[in-house]
């Protein structure tokens, strides 16, 4: 989560053509570059902030991502967020997750509206290190490389053209 807060802050800042710490920032345990408008926090830091300012009057929007990752901190945070909605009527809460049981969370928050956004799933092929070694012995390289994959071969203009491009980029 620490790495996510930093990398997402970097991504958002880059998309806004800014440096981290200007409008966009992050706060994690033992490190902070807070932004003026957008701050990415770990759950622990948010809990610490809420212990000192439980009504979060200085925050307009609270976006909680990966809310399906159930642990004691996230569960406790959900209790505090539910209470927060009772004392701070102006704050907007957005809960996000790719695998969230949205009906349960909606019911918990008083039949809150649910917005479903279609996304793409990508096939994942799990390979273990021992299998990778066998594959590379058999093919000389991993089969998903354009040189060995017919589906990618045409995209790169054939295996030999791809290999030439690779050699030009990475001369030995």
Chain segment 26-60, per-residue pLDDT in tens: 999 999 999 999 999 989 999 999 999 989 998 89
pLDDT confidence of residue 168: 56
pLDDT confidence of residue 156: 46
pLDDT confidence of residue 169: 53
Res. 85: pLDDT tops 80: yes
Lowest mean pLDDT among 2-16, 87-101, 111-125: 111-125
Q: What is the model's pTM?
A: 0.63
User: Residues 6 or more apart from 78 whose CB is under 8 A from it?
Assistant: 67, 108
């Amino acid at each position: 989560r620490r790495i996510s807060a930093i990398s997402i802050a970097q991504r958002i800042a880059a998309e806004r053509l800014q440096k981290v710490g200007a409008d966009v920032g992050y706060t994690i345990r033992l490190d902070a570059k807070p932004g003026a408008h957008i701050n990415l926090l770990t759950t622990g830091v948010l809990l610490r902030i809420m212990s000192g300012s439980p009504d979060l009057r200085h925050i307009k929007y609270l976006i909680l991502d990966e809310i399906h990752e159930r642990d004691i901190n996230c569960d406790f945070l959900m209790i505090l967020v539910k209470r927060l909605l009772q004392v701070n009527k102006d704050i907007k809460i957005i809960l996000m997750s790719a695998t969230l049981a949205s009906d349960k969370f909606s019911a918990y928050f008083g039949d809150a509206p649910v917005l479903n956004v279609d996304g793409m799933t990508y096939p994942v092929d799990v390979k273990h290190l021992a299998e990778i070694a066998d594959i590379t012995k058999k093919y000389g390289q991993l089969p998903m490389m354009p040189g060995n994959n017919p589906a990618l071969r045409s995209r790169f203009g054939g295996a030999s053209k791809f290999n030439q491009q690779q050699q030009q980029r990475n001369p030995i």
